[in-house]
Structure 1
Amino acid sequence: MATWAEFTAEQPDMAAFVESRFAADRHALIATLRRDGAPRISGVEPDFLDGELWAGMMPNSLKSRDLRRDSRFALHCMSTTASMTEAGDAKISGTAEFWNNKDDYLKNLFDRTGWQPEPEEIDLFRFDVTEVVQITVEGDEMAVLSWHEGKGTRRVSKK
């Protein structure tokens, strides 16, 4: 698994695009796997900080329990228009690691936002990535740039 910093070092332009799409609307969607293997979609606010991708969630929420049981996830930015002509789209997949030492993250969160939950009020996860996808509209084509760990990038254009 690659850290966000490792992906960024390999694909800086793509990483900047993806981060900008997630920053455009802090709310995103995360797919996790239920106990029976069925997918679950939940809201989440991903956070790119110091070369890492993080997300905090309510303690013992369904998505948190899903990730602690099966760490695989898919994250999707909020698409604001059906045509995607204005900003594009971004997706990230990989694995999540439950993070016990929250002090540094919570201090930084407070410094940036003025909000600092108590450590017991948040389940914190750090994400490693195996796939990142950038989708843009260029003229009358949809351009899909995908990166897979160990395989580099592939670009596909579709009319």
Structure 2
Amino acid sequence: MTTNWAAFTAAEPAFARVAEERFGLFTHHTLATLRKDGSPRTTGLEVRFLYGELWLGMMADSMKALDLRRDPRFALQANPGAETEMEGGDMRIAGRAIEVEDPEVIARYAGEVGPPEPFHLFRTELTEVVRTYIEDGKYLAVQLWKPGAPARTTRRT
């Protein structure tokens, strides 16, 4: 089961706000895609939260774009920042990336973001959002959301 960012935000507004804030701390994040042979590929990427969607924009014919065209599954990790800091915790999003071909949508996005052209634009369908963080200075907390179920948090000491 998958859903878009707007549905996640409606279901879990506080969690979505934390995710957007966490991704907003840095410009570049890490995207994992699958190569032709099935092995993982990680690359840097800028993300945008616009119009109720999480967008992945990338240079034309980049390896990550070709990977996503072949197999849309992805994992995205927020930039952890400095070695000793992970303000807001470790944030990860997984799902499927669907390439946008509608010229009006692409033009709207380009007008808002101003990416170098030409570029590929993918909207995302989420399969999970995960946040791992330290709670109260003593618990390792893992907050997990999947479509169709409320977020749940597990804690370990």
Give TM-score scaled by structure 2 length: 0.91
Instruction: State how far apart, in whole Å, the 1-side matches of 2:68 and 2:131 are.
Output: 24
Percent identity among equivalent residues?
Answer: 42
Runs of 4+ aligned residues of structure 1 deviating over 6 Å after TM superposition are none
Instruction: State how far apart, in whole Å, the 1-side matches of 2:81 and 2:99 are.
Output: 30
Deviates more, 1:133-142 or 1:8-17: 133-142
How many residue pairs align between the two structures?
A: 152
Instruction: State how far apart, in whole Å, the 2-side matches of 1:53 and 1:59 are.
Output: 19
Work out which of the residue numbers 108, 129, 139 in structure 1 matches 2:126: 129
1:27-72: per-residue Cα shift (whole Å, max 9, x none)?
A: 0000000111111101000100011010111111110000000000
Instruction: Flag the 1:116–1:73 CA change in 2: closer, same or farther, 3 A.
Output: closer
Which AA in structure 2 matches 1:92? I
Q: CA RMSD in A?
A: 1.4
1:81-122: per-residue Cα shift (whole Å, max 9, x none)?
A: 45556331211000001112211111122xxxxx3533xx11
* Contact 2:128–2:144 (8 Å) recurs in 1: yes
Structure 2 unaligned regions, length at least 5: none
Which AA in structure 2 matches 1:18? A
Which AA in structure 2 matches 1:90? M
Tell me the residue number matched to 1:104. Answer: 108
